[in-house]
Amino acid sequence: MMATIRVGLLGYGGLGQAAARMLAVKKQMILVAAADSKGYAYHPEGLDAARLSLAVSRHGSVGYDPAVGVPADAPIQALLEQQVPADGYFLALPNLPNTFMASVARTFITSGWRGVLVDAIKRTSAVEQLLTLAPDLQRAGITYVTGCGATPGLLTAAAALAAQSFSEVLSVQITFGVGIANWEAYRSTVREDIAHLEGYSVERARAMSDAQVSELLDRTGGLLTLEKMEHADDILLELAGICGRERVSVGGVVDTRNPQKPLSTNVRVTGRTFEGKTSTHTFTLGDETSMAANVCGPALGYLKAGIEMHRRGHHGIWSSAELMPRFVG
Amino acid sequence: MMATIRVGLLGYGGLGQAAARMLAVKKQMILVAAADSKGYAYHPEGLDAARLSLAVSRHGSVGYDPAVGVPADAPIQALLEQQVPADGYFLALPNLPNTFMASVARTFITSGWRGVLVDAIKRTSAVEQLLTLAPDLQRAGITYVTGCGATPGLLTAAAALAAQSFSEVLSVQITFGVGIANWEAYRSTVREDIAHLEGYSVERARAMSDAQVSELLDRTGGLLTLEKMEHADDILLELAGICGRERVSVGGVVDTRNPQKPLSTNVRVTGRTFEGKTSTHTFTLGDETSMAANVCGPALGYLKAGIEMHRRGHHGIWSSAELMPRFVG
């Protein structure tokens, strides 16, 4: 029986808070540390997710939780200096700027901490930066699993599995539907989506005020329709040897005013069999599963798989297309 | 870059021959050994799949291939005594009798051979026997991956992945459609299916003559409708911690007179999310993929994953619900 896994969360926005709520119902994991852009909190016996959320909504940071929070200018570094006994961290961080995830990984590498890191990263270019850190991660005794959300993540892994029936994979098409009742609960995520729109860039989206985002959403009736997105599913499937990245496409529709999904999220893998037949396998997510469930569930599942790798002494970087996530009870 | 993987095939019926044809188009693997119930054949530089098939159709065994075949009373043991440099074997053997796969595993254990074994086993009770061999496999330096076909295998792994969105998995329903043009090319497999029918047993199905099988199929219009089958998906998902085996059900329809599938093979995973929602993820196989593609593809993919495990020094037994298969180019 595996001992309880002590988990830290970096980022305490919509995703981080959802992960904390999920951790609260897991027997095999406890939340021992959290940090956001303004502070951190930790407790080796377990943090109270609800109280941390209260501190965020009232004061803007987990660092302002009166009992366990500490405001800090460089919260991740400050947290790591406390030598919290966390087995792994879920980097539920904004994907912007694009260099952020790799810079956080570097902070872990230089800190001397050893354990497992998982991210729910989105962009291909951000994964490329992480991959250059592979030797450093290995030397540092860190097991990093990248692309562990829904896409990349759950759907990438489903594509890697579906590929098994084929001699050659001709295309992988990921189409997601996301419905959120209120975009302001996912400020960073929505800006990341906007950055994928024609005429927008990561920088431009990030610089938008809340009023400007609202105005844009008013013009589109709350819908963001995204095509040919730069999504790391492509590089992860290429690295896993499944197909060239140009055969992978990601698009979708985000409804920012309706928790119901505008379409069922799915991945379609088309390939040619050894008998010369062309066919398509499809993996479709139930509409009633939220983005939070489809991102945080896999992230914790890969974290558990990463812990097994780490305990076996395997350090470096892997992806969601290479490991089978473990179910976290 | 991984060196070419040298593969052996045990069993040279429908599945074994399909695997050999698949291997013929792979760059990363070559077929170096094959055995069936009456003989064996091996060649360290690679066997010719078409010629072996010819020997089987003309003389009833790969052992009668004039250039590379050797007839034998105990072909697997005799093959292993040749010390063929095979990195792994796909046990494409009949599932009947139910003790057969475990007895073959024991033959490998006592032979001193070290490498990877994968099976496309079906029955829960057959997997239970294999599991008791875990310590012996570990001591022998063998990495055994069980349940690596379509179901258990591809669909079990898809269920393990789909489970990631849920806090609790309520049901896993596997429904397969199989279409084969001519049942006589899959004599063993069809008898295994018949054994699942109401009023039949493994022993009774196995004892049936070809004429008796034909007669049964005449009565059903060539269709075999199977419900609540004893299928090892249940124990594999239970062992992976995903849900109790009683929540897993397997059924399907086999059309023995039509290569078109009577329905699209799929797995439906219903669970409850951490937010209390109930939802169902679905993984559906394209109708144009044959049983051979959906069984042999995953089996070779798990064999490659097993080779990685073996090279890292991990010996013992794993299942398709625990490892991500590797794509074999």
Give pLDDT tens digits for A26-65.
Answer: 999 999 999 999 999 999 999 999 999 999 999 999 999 9
Q: Tell me what ipTM this predicted complex has.
A: 0.93
Please provide the average confidence, as pLDDT, over all residues in chain B: 95
Model confidence band, residue B7 (pLDDT cutoffs 50, 70, 90): very high
Residues A201 and A274 in one domain: yes
CATH label of the domain that carries residue A19 = 3.40.50.720
Domain-embedded: residue B228: yes
Nearest to A289 among B165, B242, B323 (CB): B165
Please indicate, yes or no, whether residues A144 and A158 belong to a single structural domain of this protein: no
Alpha-carbon gap: B276 to the closest alpha carbon of chain A (Å): 10
**Does residue B37 sit in the same domain as residue B169?**
no
Output the pLDDT for position B24: 95
Which string of b and e fits A96-120 if b means at least 16 CB within 10 Å? bebebbbebbbbbbebebebbbbbb
Region of poorest pLDDT, from A172-186, A285-299, B287-301 = A172-186
**B283 and B303, same domain (yes or no):** no
* Structural domain of A182: 154-287
Catalytic residue among B38, B196, B304, B315: B196
Answer yes or no: do A181 and A62 share one domain: no
C-alpha distances in Å from residue A311, one per residue of A158, A305, B86: 26, 10, 30
pLDDT at A104 exceeding the cut of 90: yes
Classify residue B325: in a domain, yes or no. no
In this structure, is residue B327 part of a structural domain? no
- pLDDT value of residue B2: 63
Q: State whether A145 and A239 are in the same domain.
A: no
In a domain, B329, yes or no: no
Digit-coded pLDDT (tens) for B46-98? 999 999 999 999 999 999 998 899 999 999 999 999 999 999 999 999 877 88
DSSP state for residue B257 in the 8-state scheme: T
B165: tokens are 């969105």
For the segment A123-150, what is each residue's pLDDT rounded down to a tens digit? 999 999 999 999 999 999 999 999 999 9
Residues A189 and A209 in one domain: yes
Query: CA A30 to CA A90: how far, in whole Å?
Result: 12
| Nearest Cα residue to A10 out of A59, A60, A76, A88 | A76
- Cβ pair B281:A278 closer than 8 A: no
Nearest to B163 among A21, A165, A327 (CB): A327
Asked if B181 and B290 touch (Cβ cutoff 8 Å), the reply is no
Query: Among all chains, which residue has been given the structure tokens 């911690």?
Result: B241
Judgement on whether residues B257 and B306 belong to the same structural domain of the protein: no
Evaluate the CA torsion angle B150, B154, B158, B160 in order and state its sign: positive
Contacts of residue A284 in chain B, CB cutoff 8 Å? 281-284
CB contact under 8 A, A273 and B284: no
CB A18 within 8 A of CB A149: no
A253 and A301 fall within a common domain: no
Locate the chain A residue with the closest alpha carbon to B322.
A324
Same domain, yes or no: B88 and B103: yes
Kindly tell me if the per-residue pLDDT of A292 is higher than 70.
Answer: yes
Which pLDDT band holds residue A2 (cuts at 50, 70, 90)?
A: low
CB spacing of B161 vs A273 below 8 angstroms? no
Residue A324 lies in a domain: no
- In-domain check, residue A57: yes
Q: Does one domain contain both B126 and B111?
A: yes
Question: Is B275 considered catalytic here?
Answer: no
Q: Is the residue at B328 inside a domain?
A: no
Which residue in B has a C-alpha nearest to residue A305's C-alpha?
B322
pLDDT band at A94; cut points 50, 70, 90: confident
B11 marked as part of a ligand binding site: yes
How many folded domains does chain B comprise? 2
Alpha-carbon gap, residue B154 to B168, rounded angstroms = 21
Q: Which residues contact B72 (CB under 8 A, 6 or more apart)?
A: B38, B39, B40, B63, B78, B79
Indicate which of A17, A27, A165 best probes the interface with B, i.e. most B CBs within 10 Å of its own CB. Answer: A165
**How far apart are the C-alpha atoms of A290 and B246, rounded to whole Å?**
27
* Average predicted confidence (pLDDT) for chain A: 95
The answer to whether B95 contacts chain A (CB < 8 Å) is no
Question: Across residues A235-248, what is the average pLDDT?
Answer: 98
Q: What is the pLDDT of residue A218?
A: 95
Q: How confident is the model at residue B257 (pLDDT cuts 50, 70, 90)?
A: very high
Q: Is the CB of residue B311 less than 8 Å from the CB of residue A321?
A: no
* β B168-179/B266-272 pair status: antiparallel
Helices B210-219 and B187-194 pack at an angle, to 10 degrees, of 60
Would A130 be classed as within a structural domain?
yes
Q: Is the pLDDT of residue A260 over 70?
A: yes
Question: A135 and A17 share a domain?
Answer: yes
Judged by CB atoms closer than 8 Å, whether chains meet at B292 and A314 is answered as no
Question: According to the model, what pLDDT value does residue B184 have?
Answer: 84
What pLDDT does residue A16 have?
A: 96
